Each structure stands twice: as C-alpha cells, then as structure tokens.
Chain A
Amino acid sequence: MKSLNRRQFMKGSIGAAAAFAAISQSPVRGANDKVIIGVMGLGGRGTQLAEMFAQRPDVEIAYLCDADSRRFARAREAVEEAQNKRTKLVQDFRKILDDASVDALINATPDHWHGLGTIMACQAGKDVYVEKPMAHNVWEGRKMIEAARKYKRVVQVGMQSRSAAYAKKAKEYIESGKMGEINLVRVFNMMQHPRQKQAADQPVPEGFDYDMWCGPAPKLPYNPGQRWLNQWEYSCGPIPGDAVHQLDLARYLLNDIPCPKTVAHAGGVFSLKDGRETPDTQLATYEYGPLTLMLEAALWTPYMKKTPAEIRDSDLFPNWPFSATKIEILGTQGFMYVGRHGGGWQAYDAEGELVRSEYGRQGDKEHQDNFIDCIRTRKKANADVEVGHQTVLLCHLANISYRVGNQRLEFDSKTETFTNCDQANKLLKREYRTPWIVPETV
C-alpha cells in the first residue's frame, strides 16, 4: 500500500541534505541570494506569514517553530507546498538563533514573547519581522529599540497598512492642506468576539512545551478555556491587538506624530462577562495639544463589519457607517474616511461634498517586500521598531489608564513615565520569569 510518496505531491526534491545546505551568512545579502528565515509561532497569523514568505522566490523558510508540536502540520504543509522543500521543525526557537545560516526571524508568537524573542534574535545577529502589538509593555518596547540599534538589526513590525500605496496618497492629501488644520482623528475598532468558556484547569497536552510557551510570563495552570488574548500576563488585550493597525495607520497619516501628553480611558468589561481580564469596551482620548486622537472600540458589535473580502483588493469602498475598522479625520476644511485592509479613502470638503476618492489594495506584499529589501540594504523598515514602539504605546497608555481606574494620566515622552500616578508607573514593566528575563542592558 505504499504506492504514493511525498514527491508526487511536493514535486521538487526534498532531500534533507539539499534542503538544509547551509548558506554562509553575510551582513548584506546579495541580490541573488535567498534570505533564510525561521518562523517562531505557528498560530493563524504565523502560519499565514510563513506561507506568504515561502511563496517568494527570494526567501527560504528554513525553520518552523512552535512550543506546541501539534501545530506543526498546518504550517509545514503550507510552506513545503510553496517552496517544494522541507523545513526543520523545532519547539525551541533558540535552535533557529544558533544557526548561522539564518538571516531573519519572523516572530508571530503571542504578545508576551514579542519583546524577548526579538531582543534575543537581535543579539544573535538576526533581522526580525515581529508581529503587532510589538511589545507587551512600555519598558520592553524601549529595550527592543535599544537591541535593534545596538546590534544594527532591521526590525519590521507587522503593521502593514502603512506600506499600502493608498495610505501614502491619503497622507499626501492631508499634507496638501486641503482639509485645513487636523484637530480630531477618530479610530474605530468594532468587533464581534465570542465568549470564552469557563472550565477547570486541564493537563498539558502531549507534545506541548507549556513552560516554553509561557516563557517570560508566569506559568499559570493550563486552561485553554481562558484565551491568552484576554489575560494581561500574555496579552495587551484583543482590542489593542487589532486596533493597533488603525492606530498605526492614523499615526502614519499624521506624519508619525510623537506620543501624546495625556490619555483618558473609559470602558471595561460590559458585555462579555466571561472571566476575562481585558476590557471588551475601550474608549480612549489622547491629547496632543491642538490634536485629539480618539479610539472607539468594542468586541460586541455584530453589525459593524471589517472590510469585506470582495472590497479588500478591488475598486470598492466599505459601507463607511458600519465599517468596523475605519478612521475618520476631521479638519477645519474637510473630512476624510480611511479604511483598513485596502478599503481606500474618500475626502469631503467644507460643504460636505465628495472631492476625492482613492480605492485601496492591502499592503501585505509591499510590507514584506520592504522587509526583504531592508535586509539587503540595511535601511530602516517602513514599520521600524521605533515606529512600532510609538504606536503600541497608545495601546499601553489606554490599558494602563483603564487598570488604574480609568484615570486621566499625564505622560512624559522623554522619560516614558507618568507624572501624575505612581500606580500607573508600576504597570510600565512586567515581572519576568527566570530564565526568560529582558535585561536592563541588552
């Protein structure tokens, strides 16, 4: 019954020796050399990234890594189909870092591993594509910047909206002054999340290195009913985890405005009362002086829709009133809708007349192109680590305001501390679990 072999399906040669032939590492890859990448974290996004990068002719995915070996198959199938070549499967990402032939690490782990995983990769001489939200806490984000700069690494944060061509056109339109002075920007993130299920703790499944999965975070009893996304120890929360895309797009459109002077949060767990720690409703107001940025986000709004599939890469616009991920830019002379996921943008004049429309396309490919290009040229990436830090800072500020009782907080951008709340300052950094400690000096 052995009439089939894998070659029939994968077509190309997948001899192990050929597949893993080491390529000598050089600081700048030649134009004809493939960039060798390891992928850390094989959830939905990590698998998607692995597949997309594997489809590039200038990339080879040499490693797939997840603490849970039960996740290997889905990612491996996608990658090996795309590149006709086997990948190594590891549960410990340090094996990727130890391999001198590897150029870059894609870090698509849960939030609590973004910082240390990136810092260790920089220390090992790897460039990094790290998923958003870039850091679990404010202090950690700053250490990621220090590591990237110290070891001269390219760090691209997975906030691809700013790489989309339509975003650049919107930015240019705003900068033309046709909308007058921009005094208010409203960022929306209205989703529909399921309730998590209450259940007893469970034994750790065979094949899952749970200690490694917890890493820098406390090793809480294993309970898959409690989604990591809803727990502060592992996550910035489901709203920041998605809204960070629109926040970053808004920052990009406003010429990467630096961090705000104050933040005030309203919200909490209003609807999804299922034992979660992170809020299901977040309204945050950020003051920048003459500009106010507002985040309006919830997890219980089924009538609000993300940009539909048929609109994402076509000449259509979202139904703006019910667009879950829109940005509204209000100027003294005009108004603009901007959509995420290739939703495009439309501008209106002071009379409310539509004066400009641009359809959009998603920016994933351009963002990945930019990462690979920067690996070769050593330029800063579109969503460089400093950009990533400044954007995720907005999420951290909102969360901290919430966690200290929805207080209005004043923030000093130079020291990256709060000036009016000691309790809030205690939430700028986490406790790290030995041996997974982010050092003061990276």
Chain B
Amino acid sequence: MKSNRLLLCIVIALAYCECCYGQWLEISNVKLRDEKTELAGPKIIIEYDVNDPNITESSPAYVFVRYSRDGGKTWRLIPTDGLQGNGFDMVDKPGHKQIIWWGTEQTSFTDVNQVKVRVRGLAMARIPAGKFFMKSLPGGGRDDSKEITPEPNLSLFYMARCETTVSMYADYLNEVGAEGAGWNSRMNNSDRCGIVRNEDHTYSVEPGRENYPITYISWYDAANFLQWCGVRLPTEAEWEKALRGGIYLDGDDTKKKPNPRPERRYPWGDESPNEGGVFRCNYDGEEDGFAYTAPVGSFSKFASPYGVCDLAGNVAEWTLDWYSTSHHAGLDGFRMVRGGSWMAVPAACDAITGATQLPLKESSIMGFRAVKGSPTSLLNVEYRTPNIQ
C-alpha cells in the first residue's frame, strides 16, 4: 500500500525531557519522537530550543546529546555521524532546533517512552584556520611527534569560552559517578572541590560554587570528562593560538582582519596583568579581587581576541601534549599545563609559560577546558587511570 511506503506509524512520545543548567547553555523544550519509516528504518527526532542571544557564528554552541535506554541507569553519547539536522555539533544561531537521529541499533527502541535523552550545550569560540605566532617554542623539551615551527598553521577548531566549571563536572558525575568514576579522594573535602558526594552516590554542588572552575582534576579525569562530551583537551598550539589570535583573526582563507598584536604576551595585549593598577586576570594574591579561584569569565573584559576567557590565570589548564615520554617519569610521562593560576606570579600568566605535571596530579591550581577540532581520532582513545598500588 502506498500509504505504507510513506509512513507506517508516527509515534509522538511525550518523552522524558531534561534541561541542564549551570554553565551549560540553557536548553529547553526537549522533545523526542519516534518515526517509523517503511524503507529507511526507524528514526528518532529530537527537538529543543536554545535561545541564548550570544550564540553566533563566531561564538557557537557545541551541542551534544546523550541517551539512555534503561530508564536513566546508563548513558551513552549519540555519535554525530548518525545525526542530521541543525541542532547538533556546532550550532551557530539561537532558536528552535531539530536533530534527526538515524541509526540501526540505537534507534530500534521497543518503546520510545523508555528512552531518555539529555541535550547539553557549551559556549564555544570559533578559531579560524590559519597561521599564528607560536612564541613559546621551542621552550622546554617536547615530544618529537609535535610539529614545531615559528608560524604553525592550524586548521579550524573551536575552544570553550570558559574553563570547565564545578556545576558541569557535578552534572557529569551524576551520570557516570555512581561507581566512583571521575571522583578522587582529594575531592572528598567539598570545601576544596565544591562538590558534595551524597550517601546515595549522587553529587551536588556547594551553593555558590556553580560557576567556579573545577579543580583537583587529574589529566585522566579531564580527558574522560571531555570524551563524555565528545570533545577533547587542547594541544599547546591550539591553546596558544586561542590566546594570541592568528595573524589574521578571520583566518587565512579571507585575510580581511589582521591581528593588531599577533605576538602579544597576554590575551589582552602586552600589558602586565596588574599594570597601571588595572587587574586583568586572577593571579597570586587578593589585589585582583580573588584570593582563590574566580568564577569563570570574571575577567571577560580581558578575554582573548576570540573571546576566550581566563586563558591567563585563574586555573592552569591541562593540555593534550606530552612534555616527554619517558625521561624520569616512568609512569605516563609528563603532560604540559598552560596559563598560570590564582597562585602564580603575574608573569607566569602569559602566553609562553608552561609547567609539567604528572597526569595523575590533582591540584587546586589546575583545571581544563574543551576543544572541538581535529584530530578527532583521539576521541577513540580510552583514558584509564593507571592502577598504582
């Protein structure tokens, strides 16, 4: 029958919808429906609204969707290669969004009412493809696998405008942390990390700490959180380009917007963080207004040319890069950390100063942020904390 060819059945389910607040972008009216087609198999349609007026082409939202088919016990990331529509990955306009989820296994739900989805959005900055000045190189020893040239050319990538926050991490823990994943013993002091682990193994944020950067996070914790989102840590080169800007801020494809200070020392320019009695980032001491970490974006006036906040100071940030692979470490080598911190002297909050840390280190001065860009193959790596007795 003709009608059977077109659409056998449309099931509109008032599916479980869940909005995620805190430092995720506000996403509302999440709806899920199951459409069964005769030839193309089942598909799920997810609709939602994202109304943040700050979402633009240069400041898009990274939207990812996680689903559960067992009533919310376990959750998985929906792979973007099975999605169509205007509401996933980089979303560059606010409004009503639709995602069509094609798939064979995941979408063959016996009862769509049992399916739950969570849609989350992260504010990003677009960093166009092109050359920039890598001034930190060749400081310190680095892995041979890294291309090191004075003017490296990076392809397009997106970086989170803010450091990952306590509220984001607590949200993550509530999805994955029932068995203790993502949690470490140093977090048990909630004064330190800002998250309380409740007796029923749920997690709540200490009131007032929602917008502070998450700390006491090992490299593995950071990598796993980001993999959960479908993104990754920045490389050192990406981190430095996001801070300084490319030689052309609009990228090398158009070259219409030269960077006025392509060799700048800090995100805002060359002035020291406290020059002239103006406090441009969160470094050691209280004169900048913060004795410890500051809520992310507190110094947004002094963001990078792309609008990325707190690259200088607040918390130093894990990067994807190794320092070296074997010397001294014996464990997993050292990873590079960039950006200075609330405990660092102002000069250490510049574009070139880095520090090495063993990836197991959990510290009050280290956090991280997300990047979406190549090489995405890194997303397939399983980051497991070494079992050290």
A76 vs B284: C-alpha distance in the bound complex, in angstroms?
A: 11
B5 lies within 8 A of chain A by Cβ = no
B356 lies within 8 A of chain A by Cβ = yes
Query: A76, A199, A238: which contacts B327 (Cβ < 8 A)?
Result: A238
Q: Which residues of B contact A302 (CB under 8 A)?
A: 325-326
B289 touches A70 (CB 8 A): no
**What's the least CB distance linking B93 to chain A, in Å?**
32
B355 touches A191 (CB 8 A): no
A309 vs B363: C-alpha distance in the bound complex, in angstroms?
A: 21
Query: A70, A197, A306: which contacts B142 (Cβ < 8 A)?
Result: A197
Chain A residue with the shortest CB-CB distance to B353: A70
Interface bin, chain B: 35 or more
B289 touches A9 (CB 8 A): no
B326 touches A309 (CB 8 A): no
A207 vs B349: C-alpha distance in the bound complex, in angstroms?
A: 11
Chain B residue with the shortest CB-CB distance to A191: B326
Query: A5, A77, A81, A198: which contacts B291 (Cβ < 8 A)?
Result: A5
Query: B143, B340, B348: which contacts A194 (Cβ < 8 A)?
Result: B143
A305 vs B293: C-alpha distance in the bound complex, in angstroms?
A: 39
A224 vs B353: C-alpha distance in the bound complex, in angstroms?
A: 11
A85 vs B294: C-alpha distance in the bound complex, in angstroms?
A: 22
B334 lies within 8 A of chain A by Cβ = yes
B328 touches A44 (CB 8 A): yes
Interface set, chain A 293-342, CB cutoff 8 A to B: 302, 305-310, 312-314, 324, 341
Contact with A along B345-367 (1 / 0, CB 8 A): 11110101101110000011100
Q: Which residues of A contact B363 (CB under 8 A)?
A: 74, 77-78, 81
B324 touches A193 (CB 8 A): yes
Interface set, chain A 185-201, CB cutoff 8 A to B: 191-199
Q: Which residues of B contact A225 (CB under 8 A)?
A: 137-139
A414 vs B211: C-alpha distance in the bound complex, in angstroms?
A: 68
Query: B324, B326, B344, B386: which contacts A70 (Cβ < 8 A)?
Result: B344
B141 touches A227 (CB 8 A): yes
Q: Which residues of B contact A72 (CB under 8 A)?
A: 284, 343-345, 348
Q: Can you list the 5 inter-chain pairs with the closest CB atoms, starting with the nearest?
A: A197-B138, A207-B347, A225-B138, A70-B348, A73-B344
Interface set, chain A 211-237, CB cutoff 8 A to B: 224-225, 227
With A5-B291, A341-B330 given, is the CB distance from A70 to B347 under 8 Å? yes
B70 lies within 8 A of chain A by Cβ = no
> Chain A interface (Cβ within 8 Å of chain B)?
1-6, 8-9, 11, 44-45, 69-74, 76-78, 81, 191-199, 202, 205-207, 224-225, 227, 238, 242, 302, 305-310, 312-314, 324, 341
B292 lies within 8 A of chain A by Cβ = yes
With A69-B345, A73-B345, A191-B326 given, is the CB distance from A4 to B293 under 8 Å? yes
A224 touches B330 (CB 8 A): no
A313 vs B365: C-alpha distance in the bound complex, in angstroms?
A: 28
Query: A74, A195, A310, A313: which contacts B144 (Cβ < 8 A)?
Result: A195
B388 touches A196 (CB 8 A): no
Q: List 26 A-B contacts (CB under 8 A).
A: A1-B290, A1-B294, A4-B293, A6-B292, A9-B192, A11-B191, A70-B347, A70-B348, A72-B345, A73-B284, A73-B355, A77-B341, A81-B363, A193-B324, A193-B327, A196-B141, A202-B139, A224-B138, A224-B139, A225-B139, A227-B141, A306-B330, A307-B330, A308-B330, A310-B387, A324-B326
B68 lies within 8 A of chain A by Cβ = no
A206 touches B347 (CB 8 A): yes
